[in-house]
Structure 1
Amino acid sequence: MKDLISIIIPCYNDAENISESIDSAINQDYGNIEVIVVDDGSDQNTKNVLRNLEPKIAKLITQKNKGASSARNVGIQNSTGKYILNLDSDDSFDRTFVTKAMSIIQNDSNIKIVSSYINRISENRSTILKHKNSDIKSFLKYNHSSGSALFKRSDWLKVGGYDEKMTSGYEDWDFYIRLLKGGGVSYIIPEPLLNYRIRPESNSTRANKMKYHLLRYIYIKHKDLYIEHYEVFVDHLLSRLEVVEKAERKNWTKLEFRLGKKILDPIRKIKDVFKL
């Protein structure tokens, strides 16, 4: 029999999208799946929607609003699967994701995380985000996996779950750093099997507003790793500074051109008048 997969869906005030998210989970072609939804202190409208959807899923857990990390930990604690797959309430999977991800993680013990290319959906367009297969050195620079990813329940236990102090975002990145600290890699299926909505009020949007505060938290929390890979980290910071400086120089060049044009155009017009 196939190993049981527990799909954990934290939900906070997402009445509009949660039904699609749940349907994408229960309609996976893998077969042996339990879907657990954690209502993280949602409004009454969302609670009403979840109540109607409850017969479709294995468990609906309700708690006060504590953030995504807490909701995921609670969902996993109440699950029974050997493998865990997180899914945000405003996102959805292609029906083949679990089958493809399981064939990868079960055939290579060095693979700790499996996700895929991401179909990023905004109001006006969609784009494909292509992460790369990565190890701990790469994850010290950036998060190279989506939050909706497959991993072993035993690895979640080993690293102590998600950091519930991280209520403002980047909790996935922190979790993956700890998960890969002892070795292993993150694998990316080279197909856009995750639909990811970009919304002004989404967790990732809010996290980007606190970007430097969250970066400081991660850098200090994993100080030992950054010291161990000091040269890699320095090269990363310098490359980021170089990108910023190039952008600033480009903007200054454009500004100087516009200013020069505004100053010189009237002079040229005066000259043209005298030529007449």
Structure 2
Amino acid sequence: MQQCSITVGLPVYNAMPFLPEAIESLYNQRARNFTVLVIVDGDNDGSLKYLETIQDERFRIVSQPNHGLAATLNRMLREAGTGWLLRQDADDVSYPTRIERLQEYILQFPDAGMFYSLAEYYPPKRSLGRFRSTRGTPHELRKLVQSGYLLSICHPSVALNVEKTMAIGGYRNLLHAEDADLWWRMALSYDIHLLPEVLIGFRQNSTSISSRNSRTQELHGLYAQYLLLSHLSGCRPLPLSEISQLLESNISANRTQAKQQLRHMNMHLAAKQYGSALTAFIRSLLASPAYLIRRMIDELLPLSNIANGISPDLFYRRKEAFWP
């Protein structure tokens, strides 16, 4: 097979019934010169059996005992065999021009560390909105990170320069926030470029990490921000176990509930459960009107300064506790 510059990395963990549509979206790419590395990270739902029916020399199927997402993605980086690893999750859909547009951007910015695109919730005709994504030039993204905030980027929309990603340590085992932790390290070391187009459909479903672990994801996201601030201030970070209570005191239960209910709304819309969708929307509004308004502003005015995390001042005011 002719060597190509892009490997699509598809981690799979009990991915049925959405996996076939994800695979089909790769068959439907206008570009053809790419390979696909599928790592089945444990399986008890028939995902591996389905994958074994694929007869396409571009696909490499690997099965392993369950090691978790970060370890699986690091294995993909080691075994990609190409210069770029394009992320996709097993329940998401790459639109037909995705790889073609990425190839064009790689030629234009060959020294980039990472590319990402916009993403819409899937299926688009039965879901509302787009993934809340930070937008800006590489310089603007770096400046935002240097101010102490995290980038908001849809993980399955990303393409990573394999060599540069490995140089900054790859994915660290920060449960449900390994992506946000990688973005800040990448932004400080290399250029991150946005492809300002919707190139992937991001599915919200009840078995996804975000749906099942929203509270843990919030906690580990704050820890990723703490690691960033530790790096910027030259202080040694404490392990999560020693400051988890400090971090949890900054998590708004109402905001977490509002965010979760918006996810439920889109899941109900996708299932054509319109009454339940309306109920979820009302619950989101009641839980945190401020969050819902902020989310609507981000949707309607996407050029605003979208970032993740809390004010860095909330960390610095308790510097003695966070950096004793």
* TM-score > 0.5 by shorter chain: yes
Q: How far, CA to CA, are the matches of 1:249 and 1:24 in structure 2? A: 37
The structural deviation recorded for 1:68 is 1.3
Q: How far, CA to CA, are the matches of 1:63 and 1:194 in structure 2? A: 27
Query: Which whole-Å deviations, capped at 9, do the CAs of 1:177-199 have from their partners, x for residues lacking one?
Result: 11122242x33222221000011
| Structure 1 segments of 4+ aligned residues over 6 angstroms from their partners | 247-251
Match of 2:36 in 1: 35
Distance 1:92 1:124, change over 3 A: closer
Match of 1:272 in 2: none
Distance 1:220 1:199, change over 3 A: same
Match of 1:162 in 2: 171
CA contact (8 A) 1:112 1:152 kept: yes
Match of 1:267 in 2: none
CA contact (8 A) 2:131 2:154 kept: no
Match of 1:174 in 2: 181
Q: How far, CA to CA, are the matches of 2:289 and 2:95 in structure 1? A: 41
Residue 135 of structure 2 corresponds to residue 136 of structure 1: no
Query: Which whole-Å deviations, capped at 9, do the CAs of 1:64-94 have from their partners, x for residues lacking one?
Result: 1121111111122222111110111101111
Q: How far, CA to CA, are the matches of 2:213 and 2:58 in structure 1? A: 30
CA contact (8 A) 2:112 2:190 kept: no
Larger fraction in strand? 1
Q: How far, CA to CA, are the matches of 1:106 and 1:68 in structure 2? A: 30
Residue 102 of structure 2 corresponds to residue 101 of structure 1: yes
CA contact (8 A) 2:12 2:40 kept: yes
| Larger displacement relative to structure 2 (213-222 or 195-204) | 213-222
Q: SS of the counterpart of 2:155? A: coil
Q: How far, CA to CA, are the matches of 2:45 and 2:218 in structure 1? A: 34
Q: SS of the counterpart of 1:115? A: strand
CA contact (8 A) 1:135 1:183 kept: no
Alpha-carbon RMSD across the aligned residues, in angstroms, is 3.0
Residue 162 of structure 2 corresponds to residue 153 of structure 1: yes
Q: SS of the counterpart of 1:43? A: coil
Match of 2:238 in 1: none
The structural deviation recorded for 1:127 is 2.0
Distance 1:82 1:12, change over 3 A: same
Residue 223 of structure 2 corresponds to residue 214 of structure 1: no
Match of 1:266 in 2: none
Distance 1:113 1:55, change over 3 A: same
Match of 1:258 in 2: none
Q: How far, CA to CA, are the matches of 1:107 and 1:22 in structure 2? A: 28
Give the % identical residues. 18
CA contact (8 A) 1:72 1:86 kept: no
Q: SS of the counterpart of 1:126? A: coil
Gaps of 5+ in 1: 229-239, 252-276
Match of 1:76 in 2: 77
Q: SS of the counterpart of 2:108? A: coil
Q: How far, CA to CA, are the matches of 1:11 and 1:248 in structure 2? A: 34
Q: How far, CA to CA, are the matches of 1:50 and 1:41 in structure 2? A: 13
Q: SS of the counterpart of 2:49? A: helix
Distance 1:73 1:249, change over 3 A: closer
CA contact (8 A) 2:132 2:153 kept: no
Match of 1:125 in 2: 127
The structural deviation recorded for 1:141 is 2.1
- Report how many residues are paired: 234
Q: How far, CA to CA, are the matches of 1:126 and 1:216 in structure 2? A: 27
CA contact (8 A) 1:13 1:43 kept: yes
Larger radius of gyration: 1
Residue 196 of structure 2 corresponds to residue 194 of structure 1: no
Match of 2:92 in 1: 91
Q: How far, CA to CA, are the matches of 2:58 and 2:50 in structure 1? A: 13
TM-score (normalised: structure 2): 0.63
Q: How far, CA to CA, are the matches of 1:137 and 1:191 in structure 2? A: 23
